[in-house]
A = this chain, B = another copy of it.
Amino acid sequence: MQKELPVILVTNDDGIAAPGIRALVEAVKDLGRVIVVAPDSPQSGMGHAITIGHPLRLYRADIFDGIEAWQCSGTPVDCVKLAKDKILHRKADICVSGINHGANNSINVIYSGTMSAAMEAAIEGIPSVGFSSLDYNYNADFTVAKEVARTVTQRMLSAQLLPHTLLNVNIPITTPEDFRGLKICRQAYAKWEEEFDHRLDPRGKDYYWMTGKFLNMDDGTDTDVHALKDGYASVVPVKFDLTDYKVKEWLEKEWE
């Protein structure tokens, strides 16, 4: 009897028409039965948002050769939830998200729709991974990123992983020749320093565009920021138990 192919759920936050998700589909399509469920429009910065005040639309969108694909009007997390309940009718064997056009290392994991989609699957007990290229351009070269996505997906499918395993993989801007491989890292402590660009609309009313610069406050050599600077792809295992056990201990002594 033939072994059943693993079901690979593919999603992203840049929208189903982004080159990054096409690169990801190409990278993993012969590793299992690929099903794409992705937002119908760009959803960058949506974090773990879900849609509760509006209904959702879900349409077939067969824009990948021979691959079942759906587009959804909601957020990346909505896509994963809808895929489970209305499309797959079973648990996927792995969820891969991306390849994002832009970095999701360090604190970006919190704001990232790419990573939140993968986290939603991990909460469901599906080993999951988000891939992000540091090149945010529409025409980014995904050669190295595709190779990384394929290698990591293969390793995850063949390893005995804990069901809630979730990886945040970022790929530097580099060539296959200069690429130095994977590096297991921790999340660097960094933040965004926002400066809102204040403008006046044609009726003289104020409005603001969010702009910001990324500030790395962490000089550790074991961080994702450091690995990426050195030409590695960073691999940070991520968890969704946000309890701070150190502060918990302190509070138990002081407050109870």
How many protomers of this protein does the assembly include?
2
The answer to whether the Cβ of A7 comes within 8 Å of any Cβ in the partner chain is: no
Q: Scoring A residues 82 to 120 as 1 if CB is less than 8 Å from chain B, else 0, what string do you get?
A: 101110000000000000000000010111000010010
Q: Scoring A residues 67 to 87 as 1 if CB is less than 8 Å from chain B, else 0, what string do you get?
A: 000000001011001101110
Across the interface, do A47 and B47 meet the contact criterion of CB distance under 8 Å?
yes
* Chain A interface residues (CB < 8 Å from chain B): 42, 44-53, 55-58, 75, 77-78, 81-82, 84-86, 107, 109-111, 116, 119, 123-124, 155, 159, 162, 165-166, 182-187, 189, 191, 194-196, 198-199, 205-210, 235-245, 247-248, 251-252, 254-256
Closest to A238 in B: B242
Looking at chain A's contact residues, the main secondary structure is mixed
Residues of B contacting A84 with CB < 8 Å? 194
Closest to A159 in B: B254
Across the interface, do A56 and B244 meet the contact criterion of CB distance under 8 Å?
no
